[in-house]
Amino acid sequence: MPADHDRAVEVLRQNYRALPDGASIRLAKPTSNLFRPRARPHGAGLDVSGFDQVLSIDPQARTADVQGMVTYANLTEATLAHGLLPPVVLDFKTITLGGAAVGLGAESSSFRAGLPHDPVTEMEILTGDGRVVVATSDNEHADLFHGFPHSYASLGYALRLKIDLEPAKPYVRLKHMRLKSVAAWTEAMTQACADERADFVDGVYFGPGNVCLTLGTFTDETPYLSGYTGKQIYYRSIGRREEDYLTVRDYLWRWDTDMFWTSRLFGLENPVLRRVVPGRVRTSENLRRLMMYDRRLGLLSGMNRLRGRRLEWVLQDADVPAEAVGDFLDFFDREVGLKPVWLCPMRVRREMSLYPMQPGQLWVSVGFWGPVTLRAGQAPDHHNRLIEREIAALHGLKPLYSTTHYDEDEFWQHYRGDAYWKLKDVYDPDRRLPSLYEKCVLSR
């Protein structure tokens, strides 16, 4: 273990212990990938800026030791130098590996490789009671290892993670299949995930008669290359092309430039603006900031109020069993109506204590992001609450990176409150860190 890392751990532990009892504790970091409004930062900031390095890569063992604040962008650059990648690379460059381990997420390799916690074999964690422990699947802290995913740093902070890697090739060949119903999409997707000849599988729902399935395969050679960081827009290519080729880097970050399709909310699909606004500005992190500024200041909502319209932001994912995706989209078209919608199949490889997905079962992450018009008499959170109820009715689960509206009893029923509080009693008995409910519903 590098001596610099050990020294940084000791300094952080001392700084944590020096924080006054009862102080509100937050991570002092420059980026975020959460989509829930919070009051301006207050309380004691814990500086983790020194935990953003790839410590080592073992090409023979196909493993990497990385600090918790290393971004996927920096991690993939380091591993690609050895022809390797993490099995799951989330879609935005500034997502950190530690953040992904506690907050989950899915990408197009998740049907075979699982969620971000699945390739992690060891975690060094600063717990709520100020200890630094190393957790694995079979040591004395196995309970924390299995309970850390979906804990949203309410039990502690990941300082170092050991992760398995897999071989990668320089290019990805894409095959876009346009299907005329969700049922046809589900059948084709299930078959693609069963035979695993593709390395990547995801899809986009444009409407009831227009559902696209994209299969990606690593390749060493390519007849041409496309790019979607400039004038061209990736999601629009899906409905126009049957085949495409990208470098592996451009494939990994195909959604980052436009944050899927949400750049259009700010006019950034306009060809003139697209030429004027540099690509380095058109990134998921900057678009997320614009969204959160708008939600805090009410700019878009204010303009619409002048037109007699009220808006509700619906920035959510729904994780539903694969057989229920058609029912969910029927409901979603009827009650919400946002389009497009991202569809990402996934199977977890390792059971999680706090997010009750059965390992090996095929699920689909359904992603939808944008403002919806409220009708007269509807509550400000009308659509978000409808979505939460439908997810529960379909025996699905809701990730907690955005706003959550469950009452406390309902929340703990969905997210295994009994298991959570047992972990809290062991690793944060004095409740120095906000609980999962306080962080994800009350936004503390």
Residue bearing the bigger pLDDT, 34 or 338: 338
Tens digit of each residue's pLDDT (9 = 90 or more) over 316-349 = 999 999 999 999 999 999 999 999 999 999 999 9
Q: Quick check: 63 and 82 in contact, CB under 8 A?
A: no
* CA gap 155, 127 in Å, rounded: 6
Distance CA 374, CA 42 (A): 33
Is residue 294 within 8 A of residue 129, CB to CB? The reply is no
* End-to-end Cα spacing for the chain: 34
| CB count in 10 Å sphere of residue 2 | 13
Asked whether residue 355 carries a pLDDT value surpassing 90, the answer given is: yes
Structure pTM? 0.92
Give mean pLDDT, residues 74-100: 96
The answer to whether 245 and 167 have CB atoms below 8 angstroms apart is: no
Do residues 338 and 314 lie in contact, with contact meaning Cβ atoms separated by under 8 Å?
Answer: yes
Indicate the burial class of 243 (C-beta count within 10 angstroms; 0-12, 13-18, 19 or more): exposed
- Average pLDDT, integer, range 174-188: 98
Question: Of all residues in the chain, what percent carry a pLDDT higher than 90?
Answer: 75
Q: State how far the Cα of 61 lies from the Cα of 42, in Å rounded to an integer.
A: 43
Residue-range domains of the chain with CATH: 3-167+421-440 (3.30.465.10)
